[in-house]
């Protein structure tokens, strides 16, 4: 047993689970003792879901970076913390030991301080997948600044909205990012975003692609210059460390924006103490991590999976993580397997969309690849279909590796429902059992617990959680009421996930997907209202309605029903040109990840007499299931449905 809180048998899982539900305070008190705190907590948990107010480890003081870095230095300073694999396989790999990580994070912390960043300031980070991104994230945590990482696929407008909402005063980026054969011009996109907002005082630019960029005098500084200066200062002071700010357990650690059913992304806030305990506990147990194992999570750090299972969870556990700059299919479809072979990867954690896209290349990319180092596979981000599950198990895992199907969300901070690799049984397409501390419940539309199984013996309903776990979101930045309304008001005294699920007689859960107006496109969360707002910005568009449809690789594709201005219909007969413009508009306002796959022009949308769009009907049409559209008699103009059905793409 490598960690004191590592679950090593089904019996132990049951014991842990029972205790975590019956005496959560005692349970988490014992787990949390395994971390480094500057001061111990006074209470383990205080909560109510009405405000909501959740406080874990109140009174405790800590700095999460001392847990991620400093405490490993005594015994494991020379252990590799990060193996960095560049986009271009001919470029050199970088190996960063815990000692190097310490040095870089301390220097970066000093640099941020030099530039005026203080505890509580919001720092936006918009970088590619380079080790400096991890240094920056941890440097913020070290000085108590709140980081808000923005995925490299977002547009200038989306970045500006996030800067504005958080009132960020510092912005850290790269000249560009390599992704496959593309170079993403991060700095130019950032420059455009910064013309739309005015809170940012300083911009730090890390040079990665050597792209031509503009540096704005007085605002922009080069990372290498500022780091050099900080390094010299530290060495002149004879110091090898930079002091870690003493944080309250409930001080915010970061903000991460995510989509919901309204038009505007929400800034989910996680705090220092509970998030640390939750990500580490779940990392060790779900993946059954043992020191020395190489953990490869293919997510981008711009998403919660990267925050929790590349940065915080693994590093707190003293793990070795593989960080990959590129994409799994470049320079060819065998890249992921090349990486596994080259670095003797033990744990591979990826997304169903990546698996499905690799499936289209068949099995030839596996030829002559030695994947025998793999011990554990993981999946996250969307429901994994049985075919992809079996394919991944067979071809990557040689049918020897347990596959953990991990269900969780940005808001939950870490994994909530999953089999524990090799310990509790796996089952294709089922996330299976809740982690200790997680109390799921399925409810009907009225919030009543579903207690009657269907003919297959399954309970089916909306997935809620009854009580807080340490990694639960605490608020949405700047707007607590929004947090309450979104997650805690739909059903009384329950956290509502937005997902539907089934439960079998043994207590296993299968997640069936979102039941709200949120799409999951290639594992990216996108609100239908956000896409509609973006489409409606096009001058020729009156209104639009966006729904998802099943997509072989992306899981869900985006289907837009669009009503044009009558004038534009007659003056612009070329529908494809308008479609193209709409796609470009969405890419400009949200980012390329939200581009609609299908755009159908319609003369009107199916609305009720009170003006509400009947999405149920549009969803069925988009899915190609038009035989039974349900009751359409409440529609203002039922004839519009026939027209839409006929024009289906």
Assigned token pair, 181: 């054969």
Q: Which residue's CB is nearer to ligand WTA, number 440 or number 498?
A: 498
Per CB under 6 A, does 173 bind ligand WTA? no
CB 56 within 8 A of CB 44: yes
Q: Measured at the alpha carbon of residue 512, what is the angle toward residues 509 and 518, in degrees to the nearest 5?
A: 130
Find the binder of ligand WTA among 110, 525, 538, 554 (CB under 6 A): 525
Find the binder of ligand WTA among 97, 298, 406, 536 (CB under 6 A): 406
CB 268 within 8 A of CB 147: no
Q: How far apart are CB 153 and ligand WTA at their closest, in Å?
A: 13
CB 349 within 8 A of CB 320: no
Find the binder of ligand WTA among 68, 200, 272, 304 (CB under 6 A): 304
Find the binder of ligand WTA among 409, 439, 626, 632 (CB under 6 A): 409
d(CA 507, CA 459): 10
Per CB under 6 A, does 405 bind ligand WTA? yes
Biggest CA-to-CA distance, the chain: 79
Part in contact with ligand WTA (CB under 6 A); list of ranges 61-69, 195-203, 377-385, 584-592 = 377-385
Q: Which residue's CB is nearer to ligand WTA, number 447 or number 513?
A: 513
Q: How far apart are CB 521 and ligand WTA at their closest, in Å?
A: 11
Q: How far apart are CB 148 and ligand WTA at their closest, in Å?
A: 15
Per CB under 6 A, does 381 bind ligand WTA? yes
Per CB under 6 A, does 499 bind ligand WTA? yes
Considering only residues 418 to 477 of the shown chain, the ones binding ligand WTA according to CB under 6 A are 431
Part in contact with ligand WTA (CB under 6 A); list of ranges 166-174, 439-447, 512-520, 574-582 = 512-520
Phi-psi region of 618 (alpha: psi -120 to 50; beta: other; left: phi over 0): alpha
Q: How far apart are CB 407 and ligand WTA at their closest, in Å?
A: 4
Q: How far apart are CB 429 and ligand WTA at their closest, in Å?
A: 9
Q: What is the dihedral of CA 120, 123, 124, 125, to 10 degrees?
A: -120
Strands 170-174 and 94-97, by their bridges, are: unpaired
Q: Which residue's CB is nearer to ligand WTA, number 148 or number 305?
A: 305
Find the binder of ligand WTA among 410, 432, 528, 600 (CB under 6 A): 410
Q: How far apart are CB 585 and ligand WTA at their closest, in Å?
A: 24
Per CB under 6 A, does 498 bind ligand WTA? yes
Q: Which residue's CB is nearer to ligand WTA, number 161 or number 411?
A: 411
Per CB under 6 A, does 380 bind ligand WTA? yes
Find the binder of ligand WTA among 110, 142, 474, 514 (CB under 6 A): 514
Find the binder of ligand WTA among 97, 285, 288, 520 (CB under 6 A): 520
Per CB under 6 A, does 378 bind ligand WTA? no
Per CB under 6 A, does 385 bind ligand WTA? no
**Cβ neighbourhood burial of 294 (10 Å; 0-12, 13-18, 19+):** buried
Assigned token pair, 639: 């004839």
Q: Which residue's CB is nearer to ligand WTA, number 414 or number 606?
A: 414
d(CA 350, CA 341): 16
Distances from the Cα of 584 to the Cαs of 259, 264, 552, 570, 591, in angstroms?
20, 20, 23, 22, 9
3-class DSSP state for residue 1?
coil
d(CA 82, CA 100): 10
CB 559 within 8 A of CB 598: yes
Count, residues near ligand WTA per rule CB under 6 A: 23
Q: How far apart are CB 265 and ligand WTA at their closest, in Å?
A: 11
Listing DSSP states for 6-51 in one string gives ---SHHHHHHHHHHHHH-HHHHHHHHHTTS--SB--SEEEEEETTT
Q: Which residue's CB is nearer to ligand WTA, number 303 or number 337?
A: 303
Part in contact with ligand WTA (CB under 6 A); list of ranges 181-189, 210-218, 329-337, 376-384 = 376-384
Q: Which residue's CB is nearer to ligand WTA, number 97 or number 279?
A: 279
d(CA 125, CA 104): 17
Q: Which residue's CB is nearer to ligand WTA, number 108 or number 376?
A: 376
Per CB under 6 A, does 258 bind ligand WTA? yes
74 alpha carbon, distance to own chain's centre: 32
Q: Which residue's CB is nearer to ligand WTA, number 8 or number 409?
A: 409
Residues 6 or more apart whose CB falls under 8 angstroms from that of 108 comprise 132, 135, 136, 138, 139, 227, 230
Listing DSSP states for 520-542 in one string gives EETTEEEEHHHHHHHHHTSTTEE
Q: Which residue's CB is nearer to ligand WTA, number 357 or number 419?
A: 419
Phi-psi region of 292 (alpha: psi -120 to 50; beta: other; left: phi over 0): left
3-class DSSP state for residue 647?
coil
Q: How far apart are CB 349 and ligand WTA at their closest, in Å?
A: 11
Per CB under 6 A, does 408 bind ligand WTA? yes
Q: How far apart are CB 382 and ligand WTA at their closest, in Å?
A: 5
Q: Which residue's CB is nearer to ligand WTA, number 156 or number 299?
A: 299
Name the residue with tokens 């309605």: 545
Per CB under 6 A, does 383 bind ligand WTA? yes
Q: Which residues bind ligand WTA (CB under 6 A)?
A: 258, 303-305, 380-383, 405-410, 431, 497-499, 511, 513-514, 520, 525
């Amino acid at each position: 047993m490598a960690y004191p809180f590592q679950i090593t048998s089904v019996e132990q899982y049951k014991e842990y689970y029972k205790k975590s539900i019956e005496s959560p305070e005692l349970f988490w008190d014992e787990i949390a003792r395994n971390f480094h705190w500057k001061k111990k907590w006074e209470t383990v948990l205080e909560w109510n879901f009405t405000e909501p107010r959740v406080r874990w480890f109140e009174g405790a003081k800590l700095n999460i970076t001392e847990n991620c870095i400093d405490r490993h230095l005594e015994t494991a300073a020379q252990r590799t913390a990060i193996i960095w694999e560049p986009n271009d396989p001919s470029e050199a790999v970088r190996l960063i030991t815990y000692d190097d990580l310490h040095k870089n994070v301390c220097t970066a912390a000093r640099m941020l301080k030099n530039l005026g960043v203080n505890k509580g300031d919001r720092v936006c980070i918009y970088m590619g997948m380079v080790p400096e991104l991890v240094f920056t994230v941890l440097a913020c945590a070290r000085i108590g600044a709140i980081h808000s990482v923005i995925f490299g696929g977002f547009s200038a407008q989306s970045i500006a909205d996030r800067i504005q909402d958080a009132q960020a005063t510092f912005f850290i980026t790269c000249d560009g990012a390599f992704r496959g054969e593309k170079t993403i011009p991060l700095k130019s996109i950032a420059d455009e975003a910064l013309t739309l907002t005015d809170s940012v005082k300083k911009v730090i630019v890390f040079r990665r692609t050597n792209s031509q960029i503009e540096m704005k005098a007085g605002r922009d500084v080069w990372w290498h210059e500022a780091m050099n200066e900080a390094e010299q200062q530290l060495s002149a002071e004879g110091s090898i460390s930079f002091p870690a700010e003493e944080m309250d357990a409930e001080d915010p650690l970061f903000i991460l924006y995510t989509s919901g059913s309204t038009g505007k992304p929400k800034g989910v806030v996680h705090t220092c103490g509970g998030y640390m305990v939750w990500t580490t506990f779940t990392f060790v147990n779900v993946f059954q991590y043992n020191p020395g194992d190489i953990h490869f999570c293919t997510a981008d750090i711009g998403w919660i999976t990267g925050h929790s299972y590349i940065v915080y969870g693994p590093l707190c556990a003293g793990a070795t993580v593989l960080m990959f700059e590129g994409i799994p299919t470049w320079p060819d479809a065998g890249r992921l397997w090349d990486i596994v072979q080259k670095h003797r990867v033990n744990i591979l954690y990826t997304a169903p969309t990546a698996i499905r896209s690799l499936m289209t290349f068949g099995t030839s990319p596996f030829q002559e690849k030695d994947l025998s180092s793999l011990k554990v596979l993981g999946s996250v981000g969307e429901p994994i279909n049985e075919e992809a599950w079996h394919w991944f198990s067979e071809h990557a895992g040689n049918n020897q590796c347990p596959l953990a199907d991990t269900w969780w969300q940005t808001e939950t901070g870490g994994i909530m429902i999953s089999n524990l690799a090799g310990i509790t049984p796996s089952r294709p397409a089922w996330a299976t059992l809740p982690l200790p501390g997680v109390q799921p419940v399925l409810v009907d539309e009225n919030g009543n617990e579903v207690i009657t199984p269907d003919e297959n013996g399954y309970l089916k309903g909306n997935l809620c959680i009854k009580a807080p776990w340490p990694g639960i979101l605490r608020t949405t930045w700047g707007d607590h009421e929004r947090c309450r309304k979104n997650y805690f008001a739909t059903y009384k005294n329950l956290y509502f996930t937005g997902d539907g699920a089934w439960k079998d007689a043994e207590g296993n859960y299968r997640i069936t997907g979102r039941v709200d107006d949120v799409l999951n496109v290639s594992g990216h969360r996108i609100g239908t209202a956000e896409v509609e707002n973006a489409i409606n910005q096009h001058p020729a568009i009156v209104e639009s309605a966006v729904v998802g449809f099943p997509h072989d690789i992306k899981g869900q594709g985006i289907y837009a029903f669009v009503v044009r201005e009558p004038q534009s219909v007659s003056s612009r007969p070329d529908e494809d040109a308008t479609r193209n413009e709409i796609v470009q508009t969405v890419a400009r306002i949200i980012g390329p990840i939200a581009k609609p796959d299908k755009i159908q022009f319609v003369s009107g949308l199916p609305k009720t007499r009170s003006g509400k769009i009947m999405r149920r009907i549009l969803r069925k049409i988009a899915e190609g299931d038009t035989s039974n559209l349900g009751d359409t008699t409440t529609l203002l103009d039922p004839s519009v449905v026939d027209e839409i059905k006929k024009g289906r793409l």
